[in-house]
Amino acid sequence: MKTLWYILPFIVVFQSYAQLSDFGTVNFYKADSIALANKHEGLSNLPQLAHKLTANLTTDVEKFRAIYLWVCTNIANDYNLYLKNSRKRRQLQHNSKKLEDWNTRVTKEIFRKLLKREKTICTGYAYIVKELSTLANLKCKIINGYGRTSTTDVEKLNAPNHSWNAIQLNNKWYLCDPTWASGIPSPKTNAFIFQYNNGYFLTNPELFAINHFPTDSKWFLLEERTPNFETFINAPIIYSKAYTNLELHETPKTMHHVITKHTTVDFKYTLLKPITDKDISLVIDDGYNSKTIHPKNIRINTPALAFNHQFNSTGFYDVHFYIKKDLIATYTFKVETIN
């Protein structure tokens, strides 16, 4: 019995190290409760807010979690400001002096709005996460770059359009995207709807790289496996639900495919949580009709998921991959006859 007491601390230390290396099983219950309990704290006193969010937490990852969740659940995305800014930036993209002036002006407006009405666009999110982290003695950075969604026009993607954060925890850098984690604009009214998505918190950098391209490539956190811009532009579209369902998106590696009739296409993913065969469906849209199919040869060997689909009719198809009701990814297939 006595020996156990000597061994026990070592076991605990080892286990907690293993947990911290990927935070997979760290329980964020306390950090999350603190973030939610401070819901009505404003931004008028940042040091006080940082203190309230982190003072009762011991580990850096929990402190950061409380800050991040607070920002994601309290700051609203300002869709109108976003539209105004992106329109103006596009107009001024070849006039650097005027763009700079605009930037100075909009920066003021953004931060004033952020402080007064807690509304902002992504630079504001990334900024406030960084500010609160710095005040809590955590090392956090704003990463600027390109973000890509289903409505991004890649042909017009000629200047950075998105900001997110990198955070150093236990001497290792991690990625997160508070803007995309906080919610989405209503498809009808464009009013912002809070809808916290946990998938953007300390995300696997390989999944993150599919729709985040940092201007400074070291912030891919992928070392030698850094994608180039062309790979990024040609990557499949993944949706916010990809982040709650997938650890990795493996194949198809590209968005657009030209194949011959009867070609079988392989799909491969790494899952975050167990699923069953019947959860998987493909919605295949030829521009007039869409049909839902359950693909064949589904192999689920958690966490690995693989299946394939044979395209037996010529045409041009948008293929949407769903897990239950969650839209995960979209690819296009142009199916031609063999000559």
- Residues engaged in binding another protein (CB under 8 A): 43-48, 50-51, 55, 77, 79, 81-82, 85-86, 89, 103-104, 106-108, 110-111, 114-115, 121-123, 127-128, 131, 134-135, 137, 142, 144, 146-152, 159-163, 179-180, 184-185, 187, 237, 239-241, 285, 287, 316, 318, 320, 327, 330, 332
Structure tokens at 9: 């601390």
Nearer to another protein, 47 or 274 (CB): 47
SS3 call for 220: helix
Residue 5 C-beta: closest distance to another protein, Å: 36
Nearer to another protein, 221 or 329 (CB): 329
β 263-271/201-203 pair status: unpaired
Residue 250 C-beta: closest distance to another protein, Å: 20
Distance CA 225, CA 248 (A): 15
Do 35 and 74 form a contact (C-beta atoms < 8 A)? no
Residue 273 C-beta: closest distance to another protein, Å: 19
Distance CA 85, CA 78 (A): 11
Residue 111 C-beta: closest distance to another protein, Å: 4
Residue 262 C-beta: closest distance to another protein, Å: 22
Pick from 195, 187, 189, 302: nearest CA to 240? 195
Nearer to another protein, 150 or 228 (CB): 150
Pick from 106, 174, 185: nearest CA to 143? 174
Beta bridge partners of 201: 176
Residue 16 C-beta: closest distance to another protein, Å: 26
Pick from 192, 267, 274: nearest CA to 236? 267
Nearer to another protein, 20 or 157 (CB): 157
Nearer to another protein, 19 or 330 (CB): 330
Nearer to another protein, 250 or 285 (CB): 285
Residue 324's CB is within 10 A of a number of other CB atoms, namely 13
Distance CA 134, CA 67 (A): 11
